[in-house]
Amino acid sequence: MGPMRLMSPDGVDLTPKGGFRKAMLAVLALSPRQTKARKALLTMFWAESSGAKAGSSLRSALSTLRNELKPIGPDVIGSDSQSIWINPDMIWVDVLDGTPSEGEFLEGLDLGNTGAEGFEDWLRNERQKRRSAGAKPAAPKKKPSLSSDADIDLEKPLSVALVDPVISDIRVSAQAFSDSFMTMLGDGLQENCQAEVLDYRWYGSGALDLARSSGVTHLLHVAMHGVDDAIVITLKLSEAVRPKLLWQTTLSVSKDVLIDPLAPEAIEVAAFALDNLVPVLSSASADRATAFHLLSQFFQLDPSALSAARELIIDPNSQLPAKTRHALALYLQTLQIGERWSKDRIDMRNDMVAHTRNLLAEGPMGGLSLSLTGYAVHYLAQEDRLAFDMLTRATEIAPSLAMGWDHLALYHYHRGKLSRAREASGRALALSRHSPFRYAFETTRCMIAFAEGDHLTATHFGQMALSRMPGFSAALRYTAAALGFLNRHDEAEALKHTILERDPSFTASRVASGVFMSAGQEINDTIARGLARIGLD
């Protein structure tokens, strides 16, 4: 606490001189097992630099830091191709030992406008965590109650403690994967559930007592062990005040993730876990509105559900952060316009873009908020430079968020960049096998395939989407048009009936007029021709 200081046993000040090196040393010191994946450090400090430049910057900072810490010993900082770590036998960290102290955590350490938003996010979270812990006196230790639900306070803000995982493979590479995997889970819970995520992984056997005394509501446990060429991961979510198990699952992933903790397979297994974990945690309090609950209401495509969701968003007593509320409100308008519940785009382009820029200037957005807002800026205001920056950033900081990849795919599709759209859509589908929003992602893939002239693939994904959400208008239009080109008129007739039932005045000429956003006028004309072939002219 207070300004960072590194002192030798004989009182010599060895504190690194540069802000970046101080920050990197702090991150390493407070990481589980004082180890951090190289990729995680690159993302935290040099996310805006190219891969080669970022790697060079990390190597240079590491070399200088080793020289500055040389008086402690030559092996104080270790590294391999995947990870960097501190020798825990050579450096003692006061905040991990519970030593009483005063002042702001890492007081005065500010990297400013250097592209190190990931570190700034980490620093804000660490400071808030320590403020929260310091605001409450530690409760006396007691045996957890096994009694009634009276012990559970549903009005208490949702909070989850990440506790030290149990790992049978103690190699550094396994620890790096565990660190990355649990970080992705924590980020996902924070973004989707508005949960406060507290990281107690470095407290060892005392983590559970400390977490409970700090007032957390839930504990997330992870265990990993190797079986042949695979790593078996067991996840458990339990209440904090009593050992009540709420959810458990077992996953398997190839040991290839030990080489690259952020490989697509690792991201996919984290996304799979979140798809199942988020609904359980979101429902922990029936009265708590979360981003996940509101999006679930959005994707019911029911006007009454959308109206109820809107009331929760504008509720002045809502616990939702301002940036999340802004993102959800804008995204709600894209759905209302896309499903024709609102006939015209609201003339709010300047206000919307200006407000979005102001929110970005106040500090970083989470991945979900970036994705929702970025897509709305693109769809409602056609402010594509800002939209692209936000959508790209969303996939970088939340790579396991399927919706982020889907929105990026739609952005590329609308701009006619079909190969890029197909690649991003593929990531969204791979990450959303059990997502309640999957029908929207399948529709995006249907749209891209149709624009590429692949009517068979378009029909496949369109029919998959309609099996989940029979009234989704975009899936109806594209699938019906694709069936028209395939001369599968019997199947198309049922879709034609649904389209006209929803909108008796619908015609192919309306599509050709450009009332629906697509990859361009040529695609609008092609959709219209396909619809005309089934009698919707």
Distances (CA, A) of 34 to 29, 55, 308, 530, 536: 5, 20, 46, 60, 64
Is residue 148 in a domain?
no
**Any residues with CB less than 8 A from the CB of 372 and at least 6 apart, and which?**
327, 328, 330, 331, 403, 407
| Shared-domain flag, residues 412 and 492 | yes
Is residue 145 in a domain?
no
Structure tokens, 1: 């606490």
SS3 content of the chain, % helix, strand, coil (to 5): 55, 10, 35
pLDDT of residue 526: 92
Q: Are 211 and 161 in contact (CB under 8 A)?
A: yes
CA 42/CA 52 separation, integer angstroms: 11
DSSP state of 155: T
Is residue 518 in a domain?
yes
| Shared-domain flag, residues 427 and 536 | yes
| Average pLDDT of the chain, as a whole number | 77
pLDDT of residue 135: 43
| Shared-domain flag, residues 83 and 213 | no
| Shared-domain flag, residues 445 and 532 | yes
Q: Scan for tokens 């107690």, then name that residue.
A: 200
Is residue 191 in a domain?
yes
| Shared-domain flag, residues 419 and 536 | yes
Instruction: Please say which residue of 261, 282, 303 terminates a domain.
Output: 282
Domain residues for the domain of 87 are 19-135
- Give the pLDDT band of residue 489 (cuts 50, 70, 90): confident
The DSSP code sequence of 70-108 is TTT-TTSEEE-SSEEEE-TTT---HHHHT----S-BTTT
| Shared-domain flag, residues 377 and 308 | yes
Strand partners, 252: 232
| Shared-domain flag, residues 355 and 384 | yes
Q: Could you report the per-residue pLDDT of 14-23, keeping only the tens digit for each?
A: 888 877 888 8
Is residue 142 in a domain?
no
| Shared-domain flag, residues 381 and 464 | no
- Give the residue from 422, 376, 428, 436 showing the smallest Cα distance to 399: 428
Is pLDDT larger for residue 404 or for residue 319? 404
Is residue 238 in a domain?
yes
| Shared-domain flag, residues 407 and 512 | yes
**Any residues with CB less than 8 A from the CB of 129 and at least 6 apart, and which?**
198, 199
Q: Are 165 and 255 in contact (CB under 8 A)?
A: no
Residue 392 has pLDDT above 80, yes or no: yes
Residue 147 has pLDDT above 50, yes or no: no
| Shared-domain flag, residues 213 and 303 | no
Q: Could you report the per-residue pLDDT of 87-115, keeping only the tens digit for each?
A: 776 777 766 655 555 667 777 777 765 66
Number of domains in the chain: 4
CB atoms within 10 A of CB 36: 25
Residue 155 has pLDDT above 60, yes or no: no
| Shared-domain flag, residues 244 and 296 | no
CA 449/CA 462 separation, integer angstroms: 10
CA 316/CA 191 separation, integer angstroms: 20
Is residue 159 in a domain?
yes
Distances (CA, A) of 285 to 63, 199, 288, 295: 49, 22, 5, 17
91 φ, ψ (degrees, to nearest 5): -135, 130
Instruction: Please say which residue of 282, 313, 336 terminates a domain.
Output: 282
| Shared-domain flag, residues 417 and 533 | yes
CATH number at residue 437: 1.25.40.10
pLDDT of residue 151: 35
Q: Are 160 and 281 in contact (CB under 8 A)?
A: yes
pLDDT of residue 295: 79
Instruction: Please say which residue of 257, 282, 307 terminates a domain.
Output: 282
Question: Which residue type, as a one-letter code, is found at position 241?
Answer: V
159-163 vs 196-200, strand pairing mode: parallel
219 φ, ψ (degrees, to nearest 5): -120, 135
